[in-house]
Amino acid sequence: MTDSIPAGPVNLPPIPAFAAPGRAAPSLRGSVDWQSATVVEVRRETPNAVTVRLALPVWHAHVAGQHYMLRLTAADGYTAQRHYSVASAPDDEGHIEFTVDRMPGGEVSGFVHDVARPGDTLEVRGPLGGFFAWPGDRPVLLVAGGSGLVPLMAMVRHRRRRALTVPLRLVACARTPQDLLYAAELAPLPGEEHTVLYSRAAPPGYPHPVGRLAADTLAPHAAAAVADERYEVFVCGSTGFAEHAGRLLTAAGVPTTRIRVERFG
């Protein structure tokens, strides 16, 4: 994103900048070429989500937050393709992992859950998208709803794998404890602050109210992002979640130019 669009032939009023510049130089080769990746593992994360690990013949390190396109082709030539965020860290050389929620009637997610197994080949292209991406250079607040945690977990993993010291705050919202992705990894390491929230049911003794993400719960995280202007905020989740979280963040004073949003339709 340029800071302003180019001036025309006369003195034109500037266009307000939308956001900080894109964070990833798009990989043209990776984004153009389809390649056949090999499934090396399919593992269950929650009752509704599996992670599929792929080995890529032509591997371009992604920037945490980027996604790939996955294409399936039936015997008669019918194809279906979807975008999936990369869950794994960029330094996982030669490999990427997607975590896929089973969608009701989903032809691609259903295949990944019920059919895919090690040794299968799946066509992918990527990494894609240069905006919802964090190279690990600035403090971040990550706000995840459900499977919106997937690209944000790539950021958490990137920070850990590189032993980065830049502050990271994570607010992860799930319906119930059994729906929480990557639960074993959601204990904060030094320099990290985590808040895990449940909207339907929480374990006994849980310190936060059960229900929708509340302004009070988000407040300390938002305050940190307001106080330090280097902070960037990444929000990922359903449309309803993203709209709600965006409203809470802006109401708490976080400038919209420092908030990047990815919505799952």
Partner 1 sequence: MSSTTRGFVGRHTAAERDPRLPPGQYDARHDFPVLSAEVTPELAPADWSFRIDGLVDRPRSWSWDQARALPRERYDGPIHCVTSWSKLSTDFTGVSLDAFLAEAGPRAGATHAVAFSHTGYTTNLALADLTGGRAWIAFDFEGEPLTPAHGGPARLLVPHLYFWKSVKWIAGLRLLDHDEPGFWEVNGYHHRGDPWAEERYSGD
Binding residues for partner 1, rule: CB under 8 A, are 1-2, 5-6, 8-10, 12-13, 15-19, 22, 24, 26-28, 31-32, 34, 36, 69, 71-83, 105, 107, 111, 115-116, 120-123, 128-132, 235, 239, 242-243, 246-247, 249-250, 256-257, 259-265
Q: How far is the CB of 76 from partner 1 (least distance, A)?
A: 4
* Residue (178 or 256) nearer to partner 1, CB: 256
> SS3 helix, strand, coil % of the chain, rounded to 5?
25, 30, 45
* Residue (196 or 237) nearer to partner 1, CB: 237
* Residue (58 or 210) nearer to partner 1, CB: 58
Q: How far is the C-alpha of 39 from the C-alpha of 213, rounded, in Å?
A: 36
* Residue (25 or 223) nearer to partner 1, CB: 25
Q: How far is the CB of 36 from partner 1 (least distance, A)?
A: 6
Q: How far is the CB of 147 from partner 1 (least distance, A)?
A: 15
Q: How far is the CB of 84 from partner 1 (least distance, A)?
A: 11
* Residue (15 or 210) nearer to partner 1, CB: 15
The H or E element that residue 226 is part of is helix 215-227
Peptide bond into 127 cis (omega under 30): yes
Q: How far is the CB of 79 from partner 1 (least distance, A)?
A: 6
Q: How far is the C-alpha of 106 from the C-alpha of 112, rounded, in Å?
A: 10
* Residue (16 or 203) nearer to partner 1, CB: 16
Q: How far is the CB of 168 from partner 1 (least distance, A)?
A: 21
Q: How far is the CB of 117 from partner 1 (least distance, A)?
A: 9
* CB atoms inside a 10 Å sphere around CB 154: 28
* Residue (5 or 201) nearer to partner 1, CB: 5
Q: Which residues are registered as beta bridge partners of 38?
A: 55, 121
57-62 contact pairs (CB < 8 A, 24+): 58/29, 58/30, 58/33, 59/93, 59/94, 59/95, 60/27, 60/29, 60/30, 60/126, 60/127, 61/90, 61/91, 61/93, 62/24, 62/86, 62/90, 62/96, 62/126, 62/127, 62/133, 62/154
- 3 state SS of 61: coil
